[in-house]
A and B are shown apart, each in its own frame.
Chain A
Amino acid sequence: MSQDFQRSLPGYSGGSASSWYARIHVDPILLLLITGVVLFGLVILSSAVDGNDALLDAQIRRMGMAYAALIIAAQLPPAIYLRWAPFLYVVGLVLLILVLLVGVKVKGSQRWIDIPGLFRFQPSELMKIAVPMAVAWYLQQRVLPPSFKHTMFSLLIIGVPAFLIGVEPDLGTSILVTGAGVAVLLLAGLSWRWIFGAFALIAAAAPLLWQFVLKDYQRQRILTLFDPESDPLGAGWNIIQSTTAIGSGGVFGKGLYQGSQSYLDFLPEARTDFIVAVVGEELGFVGVAFLLTLYLLIIARGLFLASQAGSTFGRLVAGALVMTFFIYLFVNIAMVSGILPVVGVPLPLVSYGGTSAITLMAGFGIIMSMRTHKAW
């Protein structure tokens, strides 16, 4: 009975550390849900790679690394994160500036720092974790809900890296970093009045943003959203083909490996940003609903774990990382299904590609760490 009791309340910091997951600071429910998405993702990717099994192998290896990142991140106690949060943020900022100066340009965007012979990485990826941590670090020293002054300073912490990433240009990551930071503010109890006020302000400033901030190709993407047929071979092509793929899937889909849109290469970026269209085409509404359910459960579990964290810093960081995960999937699916403009955001844990998967999994490790380590 006592065994059962312990198992039914896993990972409670106050409880016995006899279970394996408690010993390695992992939340089994969240891990199970994540694994569900990862497996689902690999199955769909096996279709999207269209016979190129080397890509599938690479993704499996990358997912192994991502799991390792999760486990490692979960082992580090929250105190370490708290201590290193400002340092991590400053290093991230320096790297972001470096990337603009000496970064490597890929497809017109300067996002990568190349250390020849060793590796290549995107500093902006680091900021997806460093920014919410820095904001949480800053706010946890202050009385919550945050005052106007502290809110403004938090926005500065968010805004500088978001701006640097935006000029690379990498609008997708910039949105995610901003979202992560703002999530901390929201979870910290930012006044609703200010929130609505800010919304009103942004709405009022929209025409100015359109005119002076957005680049031509970004404006084009937004226009295309409303009328993809206006440029069916150019900017509209992706949206026309992805909605066609999803819509043609119907309730049950065409069957795994049976999607004509992806197999015949009509669907662009089928294994990366647009992979949810493959889900929609081959597995239908049922497949998409299944994936969305898993995602929703991850968010629910994540927010629950966050609320159980032993410190304000832990709660804020964990909650913000969960919200980042949500922003990821929402922006991606909304863009592929044609309700948001095309922004380069992958489908979390499913899209082919490594960096974001590792960051996301490390993020889940941090969430687990915040929950499973003893309060300090």
Chain B
Amino acid sequence: MSVELSIKDPGREQELFVGRAITLFALVVILFAILVARMLTLQIVEHETYQLRADNNRTQIQTLAPSRGMIYDRNGRLLADNQTSFSLAIVAERVEDIESLLSAIVEILSLNTQQLERIREELAKRSRPDSAVVILEALSEKQVALLAVNRHRLPGIEVVSRLIRSYPMGAIAAHAVGSVRRLTKEDLATIEPVQYSGSQFIGKRGVEAFYEKSLHGKVGYQKVETDAYGRVRRVLDVQGAQSGQNLTLHLDSKLQAASVDALDGRRGAIVALDPTTGGVLAMVSQPSYDPNLFVSGMSSSQFSELSSSIYLPLFNRAVNGQYAPGSTFKPVVGLAGISSATTDWDETIEDKGWFKLPGQDRVYRDWSWTKDNSGGQGEVNLHRAIYRSSNVYFYDLASRMEVDSLLGFAGQFGFGRNLALDIPQASSGLLPTPEWKRNVKNQPWYPGDSVNLGIGQGDLLATPLQMATVAATIANRGRVVRPKMLLSSDDTIGEMNSVEEPPQIVGLSEEDWESMVDSMEDVVHRGDKGFRGNGTAWAYIGQKIGYRMAGKSGTAQVVEINQGEVYDEEALTEFRRKHAWFIAFAPVDNPTIAVAVLVENGGGGSSVAAPVARAVIDAHLFQEIASIR
């Protein structure tokens, strides 16, 4: 056997080969059949699945974010617009050495380690290969230029642009216009997610918040063909986004800036209204913040500085600051006295500088009372009680009035409620009623409460916006206006409440209103008549004035200092000082502006707040004159 095999036999070898070749070919045919079966499965049996998958690969529905409506002031100056912002994106697959790229970026843009960490986090969030991931937003022009110059060192990076909100007036109009913020998870619960699928920001404060729906616009869609890198190759179908509405506010940006200047860095608030319409011409709250920081993002130290400052820059004092109105409340009390026939314009009382309720020992002092000069203001009627701001007159008047009648009358001016049409976040202040006192303080209404109420102290609280409304109502001789920010819009606006006919304050004649206006005019203009003859504000604002202005000062005692807050001694002293108020309107005969000024812990209303109010009214009237010429 082995001998036989050891001889080579070409014929047999060929037969053997042919047999093996046939066998192998059979094997080849079987394996081909497997390939064919596989192709049949993919291309015929499961064709639809893969067809769908290819289409899903190919086409994508992209949301088209609507461009947010602009906000203009009454003269067409921009208060909020949209500006191009540049971001840096990386396509990781096009980067050979991501670490050296990152260190190059860090070096070129001089980033810190915290920013580098954020970049790494963003990179880790990728959802598909070869897609561009935004790693840095809000690049400065310098950074964009640096990236362009160093492009060759940075393979795989892209600089992409998109629109972000911008506030040209920055901190000056922050509290009036409000601001947008980045959408957060919490927001998603309150919004229509589809509408915001392409948006990054949502109005969070002020006008931006209230008119969010109109400003935001309607989201659009486009069906696009994208390649594997997520780049759009073709647009297949578009349903365009509907831009948000452009809004025009009553706000006058020049007056706004002049008002900020008038406060001269002091803490406080100014609200200026157009008495005819109730339109807010200026709304200032100081200190303020730069709303652009909320858009471009700020460091955590910047945010904590803003949010934890004891001076509360994020707090809108103009609409949320609630203070005792002090003597600025006196015109209301006086008019209430006339309206309820408790007094008339001729009745006089003797102001000796102090007041006592019958049968009580407590002495209520006049503001002018001192140890040396205990004589008070002498004989005062309502007119004189206003321009001299006699406390004793109003102690007496309030003590003689039915408290409900006084409160009911005051309520017509908007105390204790928010009259504003489009400032829902405004506080309603506090008009303390006997019922409120019983419920909240569990105490009865004492006659002393009425006495305090007479000079705008006690539990009474009002916001600068409310006091501006009071000024406007007196300017209007009793016609109440409801404050509003919006002057006009491209189209009808859904957000604004239905505007009811503004009410007229009842129970007073035209003469009564003119008498009160005269009294307040004397606050400013009655001068050169000695200490007891001058209007309280004359010395400060009543000279060299080219127009007639009516006003009322107020110096309010600080209600309370929040317990538990940490203040140093200096700050504590500062926070204990009285608040300075001044309300005013002008020109007296045909008022075009009504103002309330509050300077927190500013001291005397006439000396501190009145000059601010005059500066604001000057700015308004001179601007008006300039525009007429």
Query: Which A residues are within 8 Å of any B CB, using their own CB?
Result: 143-145, 183, 186-189, 233-234, 237, 240-241, 243-251, 260-261, 263-266, 280-281, 284-285, 288-289, 292, 295-296, 299-300, 303, 306-307, 311-312, 315-316, 319, 323, 326, 330, 333-334, 337-339
B38: contacting residue among A237, A323, A337, CB under 8 A: A337
- Distance in angstroms between the alpha carbons of A319 and B13 in the assembled complex: 13
A212 to B171, CA, bound (A): 68
Given A144-B16, A312-B17, are A292 and B46 also a contact pair (CB < 8 Å)?
Answer: no
Is B296 an interface residue, CB under 8 A from the partner? no
A299 with B8: CB separation less than 8 A: no
**B14 interface residue (CB < 8 Å to A):** yes
A264 touches B6 (CB 8 A): no
Contact assessment for B18 and A307 in the assembled complex, using a CB-CB cutoff below 8 Å: yes
Contact A233 B28, beta carbon cutoff 8 Å: no
Chain A residues contacting B10 (CB-CB under 8 Å) are: 311-312
Pick from B28, B39, B49: contact of A289, CB below 8 A.
Answer: B39
Is B6 a contact of A247 with CB atoms below 8 Å?
no
Contact of B111 with A by CB under 8 A: no
Contacts of A145 in B (CB 8 A): 16
Q: How far is the CB of B134 from chain A (nearest CB, A)?
A: 18
A323: which B residues are within 8 A, CB to CB? 24
Question: Can you give 29 contacting A-B residue pairs, CB < 8 Å?
Answer: A144-B8, A183-B24, A186-B24, A187-B20, A187-B21, A188-B16, A189-B16, A189-B17, A244-B53, A246-B43, A247-B50, A247-B53, A248-B50, A248-B51, A260-B225, A261-B54, A261-B57, A263-B227, A281-B54, A284-B43, A296-B29, A306-B21, A312-B10, A312-B17, A319-B17, A319-B21, A326-B31, A330-B35, A337-B42
Cβ of A307 and Cβ of B14 under 8 Å apart?
yes
Q: Does the CB pair A334–B6 fall under 8 Å?
A: no
Q: Of residues 79 to 119 in B, which have CB atoms within 8 Å of A's CB atoms?
A: none
Complex partner residue of B49 from A245, A247, A260, A339, CB under 8 angstroms: A247
Out of A249, A266, A303, A326, name the residue touching B43 (CB < 8 Å): A249
Residues of chain B lying within 8 A (CB to CB) of residue A295: 32
A244 to B49, CA, bound (A): 8
Q: Shortest CB–CB separation between residue B185 and chain A, in angstroms?
A: 25
With A261-B57, A264-B226 known to touch, is A307 a contact of B43 (CB < 8 Å)? no
Q: With an 8 A cutoff between CB atoms, is B36 at the interface?
A: yes
Residues B25 and A246 in contact, CB atoms below 8 Å apart? no
Asked whether any CB of chain A lies closer than 8 Å to the CB of B228, the reply is yes
Residues in chain A near residue B58, CB distance under 8 A: 260-261, 264, 266
Mask: chain B, 39-64; 1 = CB below 8 Å from A; 0 = not: 11011101101110111011000000
Q: Within the assembled complex, what's the spacing in Å between the Cα atoms of A299 and B25?
A: 8
How would residues 262 to 303 of chain B score, 1 for a CB under 8 Å from any chain A CB and 0 otherwise? 000000000000000000000000000000000000000000
Question: Chain B residues with Cβ under 8 A from A186's Cβ?
Answer: 20, 24
Chain B residues, Cβ within 8 Å of A261: 54, 57-58
Q: Give the complex CA separation of A339 and B47 in angstroms.
A: 17
Q: Do A303 and B21 touch across chains, with their CB atoms under 8 A apart?
A: yes
Q: State whether B51 touches A250 (Cβ < 8 A).
A: yes
Quick check: is B233 within 8 A (CB to CB) of the other chain? yes
The answer to whether B28 touches A299 (Cβ under 8 A) is: yes
In the complex, whether B128 has a CB less than 8 A from a CB of chain A is: yes
- Note all chain B residues with C-beta closer than 8 A to A333: 35
Chain A residue, CB-CB nearest to B31? A330
Of B34, B44, B128, which contacts A339 at CB under 8 A? B34
Mask of B122-159 contacts with A, CB within 8 angstroms, 1/0: 00001011100000000000000000000000000000
Q: A260-B58, A260-B225, A264-B57 are in contact. Are A250 and B43 (CB under 8 A)?
A: yes
Q: Is B7 interfacial (CB-CB < 8 Å)?
A: yes
Please report the C-alpha to C-alpha distance between residue A264 and residue B46 in the assembled complex, in whole angstroms.
22
B628 at interface (Cβ–Cβ under 8 A)?
Answer: no
Across the interface, do A247 and B14 meet the contact criterion of CB distance under 8 Å?
no
Given contacts A143-B5, A237-B129, A312-B10, A266 and B20 within 8 Å (CB-CB): no
Report the tally of A-B residue pairs with Cβ distances under 8 A.
153
By DSSP majority rule, is chain A's interface helix, strand, loop, or mixed? helix
**Residue from B12, B17, B36, B225 having most chain A Cβ neighbours under 10 A:** B17
Whether A265 pairs with B228 at a CB distance below 8 angstroms is: yes
Kindly provide the distance from the CB of A47 to the nearest chain B CB, expressed in whole angstroms.
16
Which of A189, A251, A300, A338 interacts with B25 by CB under 8 Å?
A: A300
* Interface residues of B, Cβ cutoff 8 Å to A: 5-8, 10, 12-14, 16-21, 24-25, 28-29, 31-32, 34-36, 38-40, 42-44, 46-47, 49-51, 53-55, 57-58, 126, 128-130, 225-229, 233
Given contacts A143-B8, A187-B21, contact A285 B40 (CB under 8 A): yes
CA of A194 to CA of B328, assembled, Å: 112
Q: Are A143 and B7 in contact (CB under 8 A)?
A: yes
Tell me how far the C-beta of A37 lies from the nearest C-beta in chain B, rounded to whole angstroms: 15
B50 cross-chain contacts in A, Cβ below 8 A: 243-248
Do A247 and B46 have beta carbons less than 8 Å apart? yes
- Specify the chain B residue showing the minimal Cβ separation from A293: B32
Chain A: minimal CB distance from B556 (Å)? 65
Q: Which residue of B lies closest to A323 (CB)?
A: B24
Chain B residues near A260: list those with CB within 8 A: 54, 57-58, 225
Q: Which residue of B lies closest to A296 (CB)?
A: B32
**Given A264-B57, A264-B227: A233 and B129 within 8 A (CB)?**
yes
Interfacial chain B residues near A292, Cβ < 8 Å: 32, 35-36
**Inter-chain contacts of A330 with B (CB < 8 A):** 31-32, 35
From residue B15, how far is it (CB to closest CB) to chain A in Å?
10
A332 shortest CB reach to chain B, Å: 10
Q: A303-B25, A312-B13 are in contact. Are A250 and B47 (CB under 8 A)?
A: yes
Q: Are B39 and A307 in contact (CB under 8 A)?
A: no
Contact A264 B28 (CB under 8 A): no
In the complex, what residues of A have CB within 8 A of residue B13's CB? 144, 189, 312, 315
- Bound: A144/B6 CA distance, A: 9
Q: Which residue of A is nearest B58, CB measured?
A: A260
Contact A250 B226 (CB under 8 A): no
Contact B43 A288 (CB under 8 A): yes
B51 near A303 with CB under 8 A, answer: no
A327 to chain B, nearest CB (A): 10
A315 to B15 alpha-carbon distance, docked (Å): 11
Instruction: Specify which chain B residues have a CB less than 8 angstroms from the CB of A285 in the assembled complex.
Output: 39-40, 43-44
CA distance A334 to B42 in the complex (A): 12
Cα distance A243–B46 when bound, in Å?
10
Beyond A144-B8, A244-B54, A339-B34, 16 additional pairs, beta carbon < 8 A:
A143-B6, A144-B12, A144-B16, A189-B20, A243-B42, A243-B50, A245-B50, A247-B46, A280-B39, A280-B43, A285-B40, A288-B43, A299-B25, A306-B21, A316-B17, A319-B21
